Structure 1
């Protein structure tokens, strides 16, 4: 009873501590008293091919974080900019540095915009993964036998049972995440400034069991919290170095400085007749549609590559995260022998290697919220010092988009 109560109290205390570490923590922006220029936050790029990260952090998450922090730093944010007409065309023209097209699309609520700001995740990868298990079963048997032979059979039985009940599992994964920001002039598309921030996050999970009482614990700071804190660092630099006309120097050297805070863009826009404007709109609508399709395809490829990477790493959580619920049972059944191996052998990577670097991927059909990927090439499995066992891949996988995230809905384990 005492052990049980202690376990409950400790679990509640730990849960509270972990929740506290993930609570939003505001930061100070030294120029927050100065009104900043009008800003539109553009969709960023997500260059991580890791399934776990891609399922937990999206470009929409990052835009929300950025708009919140820029607002706190007293920048004027055009909220829900992506709902405005020609937003995608406007963003694409800015990224291409097309001043003529910007003059066409910089109208309505975009007219007063000074800056376009994007936040891109350039790196998000686990750089270390350490797992350690403790099982007292064997030690308990040995201690029990030793005490019994010494003439204390009851003590031997009790001690053996107690030690055998001690079980533990610890896993520590260190993530390295890098975020870049860039500021574009809303009139010309020219880059005003850029910066890069990188940070590490250690995610820990542990389980301790003693006489039937089990205590599980996970690390506090999550991947999306880490990204939010990187966004805060980026906004601190934007606020401190580029908000006012008095800021000295810009990233990259020789690039134009931003206009004084709050000053409207008054640069003369190129004069475009109605026929030319209509042509540009039509051209950019086609470009924006193609850009969106390519971005969707890239995200789907990240999902399917992440699926195979999760298999190679025997990553239970990642596999559940990147697959549809309809195939979870098949995945669990197909991966069960590998899950057991990973659970029972902490250093399994020393004895087993699954190489998916030669697996190839090709999208053969793409719709708005679904696509089919043909997987080819080969996967190799090496056990100990044995020769690699090569398994050719020749299957088609269906992916669907759920809540903005691509998930693999075909398993091919049977």
Structure 2
């Protein structure tokens, strides 16, 4: 804890337990930091993190951020794929609004210093001449394909996009004189003027784990960016801070909740003991195949015409069915037919992590099973993060904009964090 404290910019308070700030942001993931950096620098902003800054779902995101960046990919196509994946339960207006801002969101991340993987240099001149967006940094980004997408539209930073994005934004936040980041500060309850018929959020009661004391934050606005509720499940990809407390606090403050029953299970969590490590969907996007270890059958060919690139809910159900029918603990994801150098270059984190666990993905299959991954429901907001309570906004996995419907399209979550976070500002 002392190392994290020295690494982060931490305010030192006087004897009083009441702290004034213009904007209080609860959560230091991508949604929280995007909001903080987009707000006017004239505002005093406080960002709370329940643990160290890197302990958030955003940090562990592997695949990338989906947006219509290629000249042959229309926003309308991205919207159509999202609506199909969401089983017809997406909020159409919010979906269109958020996805239409995709290119600007990725460009903004480029400007923040995110080291996205680029297309090979020899291809850039030809690519630039054909692309009307060539003046923008997004024109040189390498795009991959993931399940449910009709084309390559996922910008990424190797196979550790979340870590690279969060590192870049953390540098910016720490350099901002108007932003104070407080790690190991846990929000307990939102403060509202409950006596007023027009309920307004005015801050939060917070526990300071450093000094083992309660603090009262008063603010003009509160942004809830506290993440999801994955840890309610035995096998989950989310870090241990994701217990759904943000949803609970918003409900207690008077917000509507929606679609909490729609929990997305990622098809390919690493099936070793209680590992929470995900095997990126991009591996299947580049040709990875799923096999039943008992029968040797490539079962997805009989499930969906898109095979391994069907939306996550379809693939996860098919894997669960194979596991249950055959009394297995996992199925195999095989990429050994792909060039070894390609795998090491494009998936360095996955390759190295599994190699250290005794699995050489260039030669051996990967044992995978579905794992709780994402809450598609949450605190009801519009595309600008506005909730039912005046002065309270929500963004990221804690919120329900309706973008994801019953099942989130791969790599739409990081996009939503950036777009809605910036819209709040």
TM range (shorter): under 0.3
Asked which structure has the greater RCO (Cα within 8 Å, sep 6+), the reply is 2
TM-score relative to the length of structure 2? 0.18
TM norm structure 1: 0.18
The structure where helix makes up a greater share of residues is: 1
Select the structure that is richer in strand. 1
